[in-house]
Chains A and B, each alone.
Chain A
Amino acid sequence: QVQLVQSGSEVKKPGSSVKVSCKASGGTFSTYAFNWVRQAPGQALEWMGDILPKFAMEHYKQKFQGRLKITTDESSKTVYMDLSSLRSEDTAVYYCAMTSYFSDFWGQGTLVTVSS
Chain B
Amino acid sequence: DIQMTQSPSSLSASVGDTVTITCRASQGITTNLAWYLQKPGTAPERLIYAASSLQSGVPSRFSGSVSGTEFTLTISSLQPEDFATYYCLQYDSYPHSFGQGTRLQL
Chain A residues close to B by CB (< 8 Å) = 35, 37, 44-47, 49-50, 59-62, 95, 97, 101-102, 104, 106-109
Contacts and interface: CB of A to CB of B under 8 A. Distances in A.
Contacts of A59: 94-95
B3 interface: no
Nearest to B97: A47
A95 B43 contact: yes
Contacts of A107: 43
Contacts of B38: 45
B98 A44 contact: yes
Nearest to A45: B98
B96 A45 contact: no
Closest 3 CB pairs of A and B: A106-B43, A104-B46, A61-B95
Contacts of A60: 95
A104 B55 contact: yes
B49 interface: yes
Interface of B: 1, 34, 36, 38, 43-46, 49-50, 55-56, 87, 89, 94-101
Contact of A47 (B45, B89, B100): B89
A106 B37 CA distance: 12
Given A44-B98, A45-B101, A102 B44 contact: no
A60 to B, nearest CB: 8
B45 A106 contact: yes
Contacts of B96: 35, 47, 50
A39 B56 CA distance: 25
Contacts of B36: 45
Nearest to B6: A44
Contacts of A46: 98
18 contacts: A44-B87, A44-B98, A44-B99, A44-B100, A45-B36, A45-B38, A45-B87, A45-B98, A46-B98, A47-B89, A47-B96, A47-B98, A59-B94, A101-B50, A104-B45, A104-B49, A106-B43, A106-B44
